[in-house]
Amino acid sequence: MSTVANLYDNGPISPIVKIDEKVAIWTRGKWDYFNVDFIEGMPRGSTMAVEMITAAGQTTLAANAAIAKRVVAILQLDDFEMFHLRWEPVDDVEGVLWEQAGQARFATRNTQARVTRFTHLRDPYLAATTFYVLGRDRDMNLEVRNPNPVAIALARFAFWGYRYKLTSLPSKPPVVTYLPAEGR
């Protein structure tokens, strides 16, 4: 098994492979093999950000309240595409990552890590926030929590990283980079 590199390197985000290299992605409980046909950057910006209060059809998020996990439409893909992203809240809210609606990410048996406005203070490139979205209808879900004892009007989250275009391979290639994209 080749070395897994760049997945969570504590530096600026960079592609985990080069174009025309092979990846093995842990999905649906097994390794699936793909050729990487194309990679492009998805820089942080106004169209790679979402305001979750509006997205949830609310006008404010009450003190210490939460927005139930919901799909973030800007991160939805077609089949044979993969997002490789990092993220953070722009406002003082906490983000909880779910893989689709049922699988907690950044989670152990007893806790689930949240990404907050404090996260970047010790992880300046937000490497530990790295996650992947593979293909259509395998969306990420984002739950939002307001830790403040006052209502807030904005709960913005920014995302950035890379989009990969993939071709499925029928069998394991001789050289491959392994990517544990799913949490199960």
Partner 1 sequence: MGLRKAGNQGLVTTTAGPDLCHAIPVGRSFIIRKILAYNNTGVDETLIFGTQTNVAGWVPLLPTLLAVDGIENIWTEADLPPVVFQADTTAGAGTTGNALVQASGINLLIQIEVEEIGLEGD
Which positions ≥6 away from 176 have C-beta within 8 Å? 2, 22, 23, 24, 33
Q: Of 97, 47, 44, 108, nearest to 70 (Cα)?
A: 97
Report the interface residues with partner 1, using CB under 8 A.
64, 92, 116-119, 121-122, 147-150
CA 94, CA 87: separation in Å to the nearest integer? 11
Least separation, in Å, of the C-beta of 41 and partner 1? 29
Which positions ≥6 away from 47 have C-beta within 8 Å? 74
Least separation, in Å, of the C-beta of 173 and partner 1? 41
Closer residue to partner 1 in complex, CB, 49/113: 113
Closer residue to partner 1 in complex, CB, 27/146: 146
Does residue 29 sit in helix, strand or coil? Answer: coil
Closer residue to partner 1 in complex, CB, 12/147: 147
Least separation, in Å, of the C-beta of 146 and partner 1? 9
Closer residue to partner 1 in complex, CB, 94/143: 94
Closer residue to partner 1 in complex, CB, 119/141: 119
Q: Which helix (H) or strand (E) holds 9?
A: none
Least separation, in Å, of the C-beta of 116 and partner 1? 7
Least separation, in Å, of the C-beta of 10 and partner 1? 16
The gap from C-alpha 54 to its chain's centroid, in whole angstroms, comes to: 20
CA 72, CA 50: separation in Å to the nearest integer? 8
Which positions ≥6 away from 9 have C-beta within 8 Å? 127
